């Protein structure tokens, strides 16, 4: 396996493919219309955010990205949980099925966490799947013990 590197705009097609693979694993198979719509929106999102407030860490194997992890920088008003207001949201940790169980996600995550430290982030947050939970725990992530309940409203 290769070295973890930062993905760039030259990787847009692969990043889109990996994102759709992640979403299919997470939500079940997507319709053709959903895939097309997400791919269209994702292209402009990546153009606007990649290497600005979004860092995508990638490990290549056999001339393709085999594993990736995305880190979105979010600035919030300071609080006791994040005294400088600099936080990161980790998402889209995904390894192509043919490359799973080889340590690629761990290596990619370690590079991402090193970058988070370089950026002086106070905290990195994520929502773990059951499959990813043991990896995140082994890297030092802890269950959120906030007294607040996560909620959302779909608009």
Of 112, 117, 109, 114, the C-alpha closest to 138 is 109
Beta-carbon contacts of 95 under 8 Å, excluding residues fewer than 6 positions away, are 66, 67, 104, 105
pLDDT tens digits, the chain, 155 residues: what are they? 678 999 999 999 999 999 999 999 988 899 999 999 999 999 999 999 999 999 999 999 988 999 999 999 999 999 988 899 999 999 999 999 999 999 999 999 999 999 999 999 999 999 998 889 999 999 999 998 777 777 888 89
How is residue 17 written in tokens? Answer: 């493919």
Strands (E), 2-154: 4-6, 54-61, 64-75, 86-95, 123-125
Domain boundaries, the chain: 4-132
Coil, helix or strand at residue 94: strand
Whole-prediction pTM: 0.90
Alpha carbon distances (Å) from 23 to 6, 16, 52, 145, 146: 21, 10, 23, 27, 27
**CATH C-level class of 4-132:** alpha beta
Strands (E), 1-155: 4-6, 54-61, 64-75, 86-95, 123-125
């Amino acid at each position: 396996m290769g070295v973890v590197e930062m993905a760039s705009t030259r990787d847009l097609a692969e990043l889109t493919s990996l994102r759709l693979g992640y979403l299919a694993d997470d939500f079940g198979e997507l319709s053709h219309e959903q895939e097309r719509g997400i791919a269209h929106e994702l292209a402009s999102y990546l153009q606007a955010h990649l290497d600005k407030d979004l860092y995508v860490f990638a490990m290549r194997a056999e001339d393709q990205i085999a594993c990736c992890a995305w880190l979105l920088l979010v600035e919030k008003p300071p609080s006791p949980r994040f005294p400088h207001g600099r936080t990161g949201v980790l998402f889209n940790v995904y390894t192509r099925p043919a490359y799973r169980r080889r340590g690629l996600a761990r290596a990619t995550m370690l590079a991402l966490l090193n970058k988070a430290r370089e950026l002086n982030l106070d905290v990195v947050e994520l929502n773990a799947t059951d499959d990813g939970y043991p990896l995140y725990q082994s890297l030092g992530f802890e269950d959120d013990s906030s007294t607040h309940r996560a909620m959302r409203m779909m608009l």
